[in-house]
Amino acid sequence: MKNIIKYKSAILISSIIIAVAGTSCRKQLFQEPYTSLSPSSAFSSPDRVEKAAVGMYDQLQNANWFGGRALIYVDVRGTDVNPPSYFSPLPLFNSVTASEGFTAGAWAGAYRTIGEANLFLKNLAGAAGVDAAKINQYTGEAEFIRALNYFYLVNLFAQPYSFSAGATHAGVPLVLTSSDSPFDATNQLPRATVAAVYAQIEKDLLDAEAKLPVTYNDPNFSNVARATKGAAQALLARTYLYENKYSNANSYADKVIAGGYTLNPDPLTPFRTYTTKESIFSVAMNGADNPNTNNALGQHYNPAKRGDIQVSNEYVALMDQTKDLRFKNMIFLQGGSYWTGKYVGTADWVPVLRYSEVLLIKAEALANLSATVDITALSLLNQVRTRSQATPVVAVTKTDLINAILTERRIELAFEGQGEFDYLRTGRGIPAHGVVLAQPYGSNYVILPIPKYDTDKNPNLVQNPGY
């Protein structure tokens, strides 16, 4: 990828090259190649600042992180895919070590992206000729990107929010500034508590919500490929749900619902046309962004490509195969195995927030808030089901309704980076499946180890138990 800025920095004493970049992708994003510029030059005009802002999304495409891998790592440790040998040992839990390469790549990719956002915010303060509205927009975009990365980091590398009273257990380091002296001892940060990480996610997203635009007036690209007010609200709704702050989750889901998003008649549509009103935020990709065979979602899930990740029989059994469009239009049998049709190639956008998830967030929040079967929650659940022509659910008890909503999340959001997280945030272990042994809730191995390289370099970085 072509660079606007090349700047040497460190995340937890690791030496990382951070680039505010602009490459060829589509339309506004990543259009023109640039030679390396100093930060002062890159922020010397409104046009250059705009391209520097776009560069944060370029970094978000990191092949080992939100180019698709962040979602894959969550799902191969769930129960909806057969454990793929390519990503071994991640799906097997107990055999993962702190020296494992996928884990190290994800950690570094996440902190590179966070570093990009921090560096952008630092230089934005001295940007020349940029009006206040644009400064607010760019600040909101950087805060959204930082919050999104911390959400996935804290859930992959730390036990869920409810694991301890007050979420006082170890989370991940909070890197919130860009250092001019990357190898200074002050960069050897300890792990913040999970509560502190979630508080920062909330803080970033609340500020982003206030500053981001409702629309970029570009429905064919930037309204989904860049952070909007609706994207911040949807990620806040998800964050509050993970914290069991059900009233807040419900309120923020309502804000998204009021924003004019809709479900497509066919659940496959948002995976072929990436900018419909069902998609709230996705990481935009094209073949040039993810050109090799080892990273793109479509490469791993499509049997015509690498075909590493097969759909499990347990997942298929959740659906009525005679009716549900999520089976009829999105699951196919080839070579004796089931595969998902959500992803087909290297140009597939990476879905992060969709409207159907927001409806299910509100349904789950209401179901937990009510002492009995909440009729609105049941209606929202069945709105998602009937879109796919699935038989409506009839719930007799509150527990029945909550279980039906969690099952619906498995069906609707499969292969979108939700699988393992949904088990853990609701206090459930990972059931035995295939050759994978059951992992009880609280097992050391349901979260990933902090990479050994980083714990070796940073004596303040405490390893997860069991590693």
Q: What confidence tens digit (pLDDT) does each residue in 294-352 have?
A: 889 999 999 999 999 999 999 999 999 999 999 999 999 999 999 999 999 999 999 99
Within a domain: 29: yes
The DSSP H or E segment spanning 281 is strand 279-283
Question: What's the mean pLDDT when you consider all of the chain?
Answer: 91
What integer pLDDT is reported at residue 180 of this predicted model? 80
Calculate mean pLDDT across residues 457-465. Answer: 96
What integer pLDDT is reported at residue 107 of this predicted model? 98
Calculate mean pLDDT across residues 259-277. Answer: 98
Count of structural domains, the chain = 1
Judge contact between 123 and 52, C-beta under 8 A. yes
What's the domain range around 267? 3-291+347-448
CA 320 to chain CA mean position, Å = 29
Within a domain: 462: no
Q: Which long-range contacts (CB under 8 A, 24 or more apart) does 393-398 make?
A: 397/372, 397/373, 398/367, 398/370, 398/371, 398/372, 398/373, 398/374
Give the span between the Cα atoms of 299 and 289, in whole angstroms: 13
Judge contact between 346 and 298, C-beta under 8 A. yes
Q: Output DSSP code: residue 167.
A: G
Q: How far does the chain reach from its first CA to its final CA, in angstroms?
A: 35
Calculate mean pLDDT across residues 445-451. Answer: 98
Exposed e or buried b for every residue in 168-182, given b needs 16+ CB within 10 A?
ebbbbbbbeebbeeb
What integer pLDDT is reported at residue 24 of this predicted model? 33
The token duo for 89 is 């040992």
Task: Name, in order, each residue with C-beta under 8 angstroms of 242's C-beta and a sequence gap of 6 or more.
Answer: 155, 160, 161, 198, 421, 425
Within a domain: 158: yes
Q: Identity (one letter) of the amino acid at 467?
A: Y
Within a domain: 456: no
Within a domain: 306: no
Give the span between the Cα atoms of 67 and 298, in whole angstroms: 11
Residue 161: C-alpha distances to residues 79, 154, 201, 425 (Å): 21, 9, 13, 7
Task: Tell me which of 290 and 59 has the higher pLDDT.
Answer: 59
Residue 36's pLDDT band, with cuts at 50, 70 and 90, is: low
CATH number of the domain residue 221 falls in:
1.25.40.390
Within a domain: 324: no
Calculate mean pLDDT across residues 180-189. Answer: 78
Within a domain: 464: no
What integer pLDDT is reported at residue 296 of this predicted model? 93
Within a domain: 312: no
pTM, to two decimals: 0.93
Residue 363: C-alpha distances to residues 368, 401, 455 (Å): 9, 9, 41
